Amino acid sequence: MQLINFVEAMEEILKIGSWMLLASVKYFFAVPVILTQSTWPWYIDALIASSGAAIGVFAFTYLGAYIAPFFSRIPLFKMTFSKLKRIIHIKNKYGLIGIAILSPILLSIPLGCIVSASFETDKRKIITYQLASVILWSLIIFGAKGLFKIEPDQILPFNG
């Protein structure tokens, strides 16, 4: 009996860990996975997604300077001119806050942090804006689920 409980607990820990890892890199892809597979209350789901994204924010803000030159040498990771032009337009028009707001949903946390670090030297400022954005998106998305009692299969075309 205890072995079964241990195995179930380990499976749950691994599942949550994988969700956090996905949220740290691609928050927008982690949200539907968490929404469809989680049996936890909405605020725990929001905490899982936010925690994973926060790990990504810290990692890519501090390690971004070392990661960017490596990725630029690999042709697979080179951005198209139009995508780069769009990011520069967002940066020029809305600044660090605009990049932070769009990072979790449209850009990706690594790209948002690396772009932010390329024109802002104050890492605390980058981390503050990026974390505020992640928390805001988590509260909006998962809060809507809790507040309006929305079931994921009502709004998503698939169910984990």
Q: Are 94 and 144 in contact (CB under 8 A)?
A: no
Task: Tokens 């996975």: give the residue.
Answer: 33
What does the block give as tokens for 39? 């049996």
Closest to 63 measured CA to CA, from 117, 122, 132 = 117
Per-residue pLDDT of the chain (160 residues; tens, 9 = 90+): 566 788 888 898 999 999 999 999 999 999 989 988 888 888 999 999 999 999 999 999 988 766 656 655 655 445 555 666 677 777 778 888 999 999 898 888 998 888 888 778 888 999 999 999 999 999 999 988 888 776 665 555 554 4
Look at residues 87, 79, 105 and name the one whose alpha carbon lies nearest to residue 26: 105
Helix (H) or strand (E) holding 22: helix 2-25
Cβ–Cβ under 8 Å, residues 20 and 48: yes
Residue type, 159: N
Residue the block writes with tokens 């890892």? 21
Break the chain into its structural domains and give their ranges.
2-155
0.85 surpassed by pTM:
no
